[in-house]
Structure 1
Amino acid sequence: MADDDLRVPLDALPVHDPFVLPVAHDGTYRLYQGVAGDPAGVEVRHSRDLRTWSAPRRVFSVPDGAWADPTCSPWAPEVHEWRGRYHLMTTLHQPATALPLVRQGGTEFRLQSADARWRLDPAARGTVVAVADDPDGPFALVDPTGPVPPADFMTLDGTLVTDRDGDPWMVYAHEWVQLLDGTVEAVPLQPDLSRAAGAPVHLFRGSEASWQSERTPGATALAPYVTDGPQLRRLPGGALACLWSSYRAQGAEYVQTWALSRSGDLTGPWEQREVLVGGDAGHGMLFDTFDGRTALVLHRGMGSPTVRAEFHEVHLTPEEVAVRPWEW
Structure 2
Amino acid sequence: MTTLSEINFRDPFILASAQTQLYYLFGTAGQTAWSGTPEGFDVYTSPDLVEWSGPFPAFRPEPGFWADHHFWAPEVHAYKDKYYMFASFKSEGIPRGTQILVADEPQGLYHPNSSGPVTPAGWECLDGTLYVDQEGQPWMVFCREWLEVTDGEMYAVRLNEELSAAAGEPVLLFRASEAPWSVGGTEGQYVTDGPFLHPGQGGELLMLWSSGGASGYAMGLARSASGSICGPWTQDAEPLYAKDGGHGMLFRDFAGRLLLTIHTPNRNPEERPVLLEVQESSRQLNIGEL
Task: State the TM-score, normalizing by the size of structure 2.
Answer: 0.93
2:273 is the counterpart of 1:317: no
2:175 is the counterpart of 1:180: no
2:191 is the counterpart of 1:226: yes
Cα distance change, pair 12–216 in 1 and its aligned pair in 2 (3 A)? closer
Cα distance change, pair 73–154 in 1 and its aligned pair in 2 (3 A)? closer
Note if contact 2:89-2:97 (Cα within 8 Å) is conserved in structure 1.
yes
CA distance in 1, matches of 2:93, 2:173: 30
CA distance in 1, matches of 2:246, 2:62: 30
CA distance in 2, matches of 1:199, 1:85: 25
Cα distance change, pair 182–216 in 1 and its aligned pair in 2 (3 A)? closer
CA distance in 2, matches of 1:203, 1:76: 21
Give the deviation of 1:313 after TM superposition.
1.1
Q: How does 1:48-87 map to 2 (within 5 A)?
A: 48-69=47-68, 72-87=69-84
Cα distance change, pair 49–88 in 1 and its aligned pair in 2 (3 A)? same
Give the deviation of 1:301 after TM superposition.
1.5
What is the identity, as a one-letter code, of the residue corresponding to 2:71? P
Give the deviation of 1:297 after TM superposition.
0.4
What is the identity, as a one-letter code, of the residue corresponding to 1:16? R
Q: How does 1:12-31 map to 2 (within 5 A)?
A: 12-31=6-25
> Which of the residues 253, 262, 281 maps onto 2:245?
281
In structure 2, the partner of 1:44 is 43
Give the deviation of 1:135 after TM superposition.
0.6
CA distance in 2, matches of 1:17, 1:42: 12
Give the deviation of 1:39 after TM superposition.
5.9
CA distance in 2, matches of 1:60, 1:216: 35
CA distance in 2, matches of 1:165, 1:268: 16
Q: Secondary structure at the match of 2:19?
A: helix
Cα distance change, pair 65–325 in 1 and its aligned pair in 2 (3 A)? same
Note if contact 1:80-1:86 (Cα within 8 Å) is conserved in structure 2.
yes
| Fraction of identical pairs, as percent | 41
In structure 2, the partner of 1:116 is none
CA distance in 1, matches of 2:181, 2:104: 43
Q: Secondary structure at the match of 2:11?
A: coil
Which ranges in structure 2 are unaligned for 5 or more consecutive residues?
Answer: none
Q: Secondary structure at the match of 2:5?
A: helix
CA distance in 2, matches of 1:38, 1:177: 22
- Give per-residue Cα distances to partners, 1:170-194, cap 9 Å, x unaligned: 0011100000000110110001111
Note if contact 1:78-1:90 (Cα within 8 Å) is conserved in structure 2.
yes
In structure 1, the partner of 2:224 is 261
CA distance in 2, matches of 1:194, 1:318: 36
Give the deviation of 1:282 after TM superposition.
0.3
- Give per-residue Cα distances to partners, 1:261-308, cap 9 Å, x unaligned: 111010111110121112210000000011110001000022323211
Q: How does 1:158-173 map to 2 (within 5 A)?
A: 158-173=128-143
What is the identity, as a one-letter code, of the residue corresponding to 2:221? W
Q: Secondary structure at the match of 2:274?
A: strand
Q: How many positions carry a matched residue from both structures?
A: 284
Give the deviation of 1:93 after TM superposition.
0.6
Q: How does 1:89-238 map to 2 (within 5 A)?
A: 89-97=86-94, 124-144=95-115, 146-212=116-182, 215=183, 221-238=186-203
In structure 2, the partner of 1:105 is none
Task: State the TM-score, normalizing by the size of structure 1.
Answer: 0.83
CA distance in 2, matches of 1:34, 1:254: 17
Give the deviation of 1:29 after TM superposition.
0.3
- 4+ aligned runs moved over 6 Å, structure 1: none
What is the identity, as a one-letter code, of the residue corresponding to 2:52? W
What is the identity, as a one-letter code, of the residue corresponding to 1:257? G
2:2 is the counterpart of 1:8: yes
Note if contact 1:40-1:74 (Cα within 8 Å) is conserved in structure 2.
no
- Give per-residue Cα distances to partners, 1:152-183, cap 9 Å, x unaligned: 11000000001231200000111000000001
In structure 2, the partner of 1:118 is none
Q: Secondary structure at the match of 2:86?
A: strand
Q: Secondary structure at the match of 1:74?
A: strand
- Give per-residue Cα distances to partners, 1:11-35, cap 9 Å, x unaligned: 1221200000001122110001344
Note if contact 1:280-1:300 (Cα within 8 Å) is conserved in structure 2.
yes
* Bigger Rg, which one: 1
Cα distance change, pair 82–256 in 1 and its aligned pair in 2 (3 A)? same
Note if contact 2:14-2:23 (Cα within 8 Å) is conserved in structure 1.
yes
Note if contact 2:213-2:242 (Cα within 8 Å) is conserved in structure 1.
no
Q: Secondary structure at the match of 2:119?
A: coil
